[in-house]
Amino acid sequence: MRILLLGQSPLPVEGGNQINAPGVRAWHFGRALAQAGHRVRLVAIQTKTGKVDEPHEVAPGLVLQPATETEITAQGLLTRLEAEFEPDGLIGASVWPSYLLALFGSTEKPLWGDLFGSPLAEGQAKAALYGDDRLIEPFARFEATVLERADAVSGVSRYQEYALVGALAAHGRLNRYTYGRPLAYNIPAALDDELLPHDCTVIRGTVVPEDAFVVLWSGGYNTWTDVETLFAGLEGAMSQNPRLHFVSTGGALPPHDSLTYPHLQTLIENSPYRERYHLLGWLPYEGLQNYYYESDLGIILDKWSYEGVLGSRTRLLDWLKYGLPAAITLTAELTQELAQVNLAFPFPHGDGPALTRLLSELATNPAKLQSARERASDYAMQNFHYLKTCAPLLAWAEAPRRASDAGQTRPLTLSGSNRETEQLLASYKSQIEAKNAQIASLEQWAHEMETTLKQTDPTPGAKLKRLLNKVKK
């Protein structure tokens, strides 16, 4: 099959300083589809400025075509590609590409829309951080557009898969045409099997002492990151263990979140242990494995939110691939699974003292960490390789098809309802039901009277007439 795949740049194959989870998602989708024998045109939406590269093959069967957003939204790129490439199906890897395909892709082509995390839950987290519920509106539009157009949708956890079923129902997609046919699927976060060597010393003996206990953060500080608890836990652990150092690769995520990382920087500036915090910023994707090799423990923690419950934490898999376990909060399905197999060590949300105790315990218990290190890579490779996680997508790509309600009139949804209208409708409904009950009672009485008269009076007509005359009086 020919598959037109739209994803967000930068992809791992493109390199750069800020490889993001949606870019990794698109790369894994493309690799899995190409290795399954499909011809794939991967259009990567560029975030960098300047000249865009020409299309070129990056793996057998996989052609990468960088493109600007303007080419897609204003210059008809997708229409031209469909005419030239003649794809059998369209696939969006993550929310924004899926939204653009729903708007600018052919309405006749089968479309798989990947909602890589819940847009509305992400919008809620941003609204809470900035104190402005108006920020939710675009996230709601993105999700609604994809759900109303896509022929199949995917999330990044079982929890999100089930949430998508509810969202599809609210948009009228659970109808008589789709009954008995799945529309939503789970495609967990994934990794590839390329294990890079430790080829350069990056922190030990230079950034931190050789014998330091290194706690690593890598990636963006998003709206859900609990930097207050992170800082409190690290401060307590540093006060107890002079060997403990915090190393961070990554940083802010403007324009989505320009507050969380600067807040952490401000907290650290006022710390008596600020010399043991090493904020290295965004670093090139090439060579990041060296930081994983040289660290003792990764750390990632959430404020509790539905974004965390419905989403995932993809950096955990990158760490595990290189044998690095992590301290975590139990939020996403992935964190729960890793904690159950003792490859991640949990502590409660918002509990700085509990994080301090956990870090202090792990820093003085090398055997516990070593046991996790020895099992981490094999577990991650066996359970989260992209060929395994992408199984539902690969099955669909074998014969891309429109959903069974495509082109059909769908039932009314609840999107336009409000409380007063619903109260009025409920009141009318109850009145109608009461009238129906009265009518049913009268019908039953009449039936019983007719039966009784037929059984006891040889001239039921005469007796019924006397009874009716009595009622009239």
Q: Please report, for the chain, the start and end positions of each structural domain, with discontinuous segments joined by +.
A: 2-190+390-397, 213-384, 419-472
Q: In what order do the strands lie in the sheet with 244-249?
A: 277-281, 244-249, 213-218, 297-300, 326-328, 344-346
**Average pLDDT of the residues in 334-353:** 97
pLDDT of the residue at 457: 55
What pLDDT score was predicted for residue 47? Answer: 80
Q: Between 74 and 126, name the one with better pLDDT.
A: 126
Contact between 250 and 286 under an 8 Å Cβ cutoff? The reply is no
Q: What mean pLDDT comes out for the span 50-78?
A: 90
Mean pLDDT along residues 191-208: 95
- The predicted model gives 237-246 an average pLDDT of 98
In whole angstroms, give the CA distance from residue 295 to residue 404.
51
For a pLDDT cut of 70, what percent of the chain falls above it? 90
Lowest mean pLDDT among 43-57, 62-76, 195-209, 216-230: 43-57
Q: 3-class DSSP state for residue 270? A: coil
Is 11 in contact with 64 (CB distance < 8 Å)?
yes
- Tokens coding 222: 């998003």
Q: Span 284-309, mean pLDDT?
A: 95
pLDDT at 467: 54
Segment 311-322 shows an average pLDDT of: 96
This prediction's pTM:
0.86
pLDDT digit string, tens, across residues 410-455 = 887 655 445 566 566 565 766 776 687 688 778 777 777 776 666 6
On whether the CB atoms of residues 118 and 146 are closer than 8 A, the answer is no
Mean pLDDT of the chain: 91
Q: Residue for token digits 């690095």?
A: 324
Mean pLDDT throughout 190-206?
A: 95
CATH of domain 2-190+390-397: 3.40.50.2000
Mean pLDDT of 61-81: 93
Q: Which fold has domain 213-384?
A: Rossmann fold (3.40.50)
Residues with Cβ within 8 Å of residue 321, at least 6 apart in sequence: 191, 195, 292, 376, 377, 380, 381
At 291, is the pLDDT very low, low, confident or very high (cuts 50, 70, 90)? very high
Is-same-fold flag (2-190+390-397; 213-384)? Answer: yes
Pairing of strands 62-67, 56-59: antiparallel
Q: What is the reported pLDDT for 24?
A: 95
Give the amino acid at 71. E
Residue 411: per-residue pLDDT: 86
**What is the pLDDT at residue 456?**
61
Give me the pLDDT at residue 468, please: 55
